[in-house]
Structure 1
């Protein structure tokens, strides 16, 4: 995509992730490490080398922070082709920003409770709202490598958890994704529906992004 569109989506990432903002650079590096070392002891987030989903995510957090703050050596092959915007990176990772978003979420819930007659039980969703990024990562990386079926033997334990991945917008087709990591459609079989695929096709048609075929 062009630089202006890249900045637009970078800012949109911050606005949509809010308190659980993740650096595109650090996330890209961890994702590349995950593919290179899938389900081995070098995998930054494999469910097969930790006791439970909480210890997996805690270990992932430590690796993420080390990569984010450049305190961990990263292989040269992983350090390329990712967007950077230092201002948004520092803003999104600051505790002032995270706490500020948290306050906004609480205010929104309180106003909905007062003026929209929202049931009090919805307040139990606040922790999920605070930690949407890590929770999304926990579901994809835990479930996508433990539960479901395999279309391909990828020499790892990646699975397809759903045949219509409405929950994680296609990311639970982990077995397919590990077989064809450069494919824009995470579905493989005719019955596997990746909801993000038509969005990518639309963005390409609108000239917002350019789909490049691998030769």
Structure 2
């Protein structure tokens, strides 16, 4: 029970920070926050993703390119131009690494306004730090696992951030239903998104790239991150840009 609770806590905290900070804030600027709160969210993302910490700056730039060039050869992660899931993940890793190390030739408009706390970007991505997180997960399992099969969950902990990205970038472009006709293959992966905190409503999001609420077009579409953002807005931690329903680019 302890291991299951730990796994679920890591899963949902990681995907929450990915959808709130990396996706809705860094990539789409659906809300604003002070520099102090931005650093708090950086730290929460570092804790939530742990060994698979993703650079908010690189993620934001790469995701903007995805929206601008979805399902074309310029898309950083399109199933249409990959042999399989692992091929797409490898290509995504290379693209991400080029942005992270400033070896890209991406136009400046895609980089405007992305968060960039340079110290945390460097620290969170260092291999000794990633290995320290992985060691901590492993020691926790050694202490509390009650069956050998539980150790099969460890690779998910190690690669939590990329796994969440792969679920949407691969499966939500191949399976699911659509509410809207769009110029790409984006689909709503789950009718009720209990797994990805609203990210599964990918067709909705590709139709209205700046809309804060990813769900809400059908009675069963509930985006759990949206009411949380409303609470954070009410507490003046973030300021939602109300009424946005346009594409980012």
TM-score normalized with structure 1 length: 0.95
Q: Does 1:158 align with 2:186?
A: yes
Select the residue among 80, 83, 97 that pairs with 1:51: 83
Partner residue, 1:78: 110
Aligned length: 211
Larger radius of gyration, structure 1 or 2? 1
Partner residue, 1:206: 235
Distance 2:149 2:65 in 1: 40
Matched position secondary structure for 2:73: coil
TM-score normalized with structure 2 length: 0.83
Matched position secondary structure for 1:139: helix
- The runs of at least 4 consecutive aligned structure 1 residues that moved more than 3 Å come to none
Partner residue, 1:37: 69
In structure 2, the gaps of 5 or more residues are 1-32
Q: Does 1:139 align with 2:167?
A: yes
Query: How do 1:122-137 residues align onto structure 2 when only pairs under 5 Å count?
Result: 122-137=150-165
Partner residue, 2:129: 97
Distance 1:140 1:14 in 2: 21
Native 8 Å contact 1:24 1:83 kept in 2: yes
CA-to-partner distance for each residue in 1:19-71, whole Å, 9 max, x for gaps? 10100000000100000001111100111110100000000000000011000
Q: How far is 1:189 from its partner?
A: 2.2
Partner residue, 2:214: 186
Native 8 Å contact 1:144 1:174 kept in 2: yes
Partner residue, 1:120: 148
Partner residue, 1:27: 59
Distance 1:176 1:77 in 2: 24
Higher relative contact order (CA 8 A, sep 6+): 2
Over aligned residues, Cα RMSD in angstroms? 1.1
Distance 2:195 2:113 in 1: 28
Q: How far is 1:4 from its partner?
A: 1.2
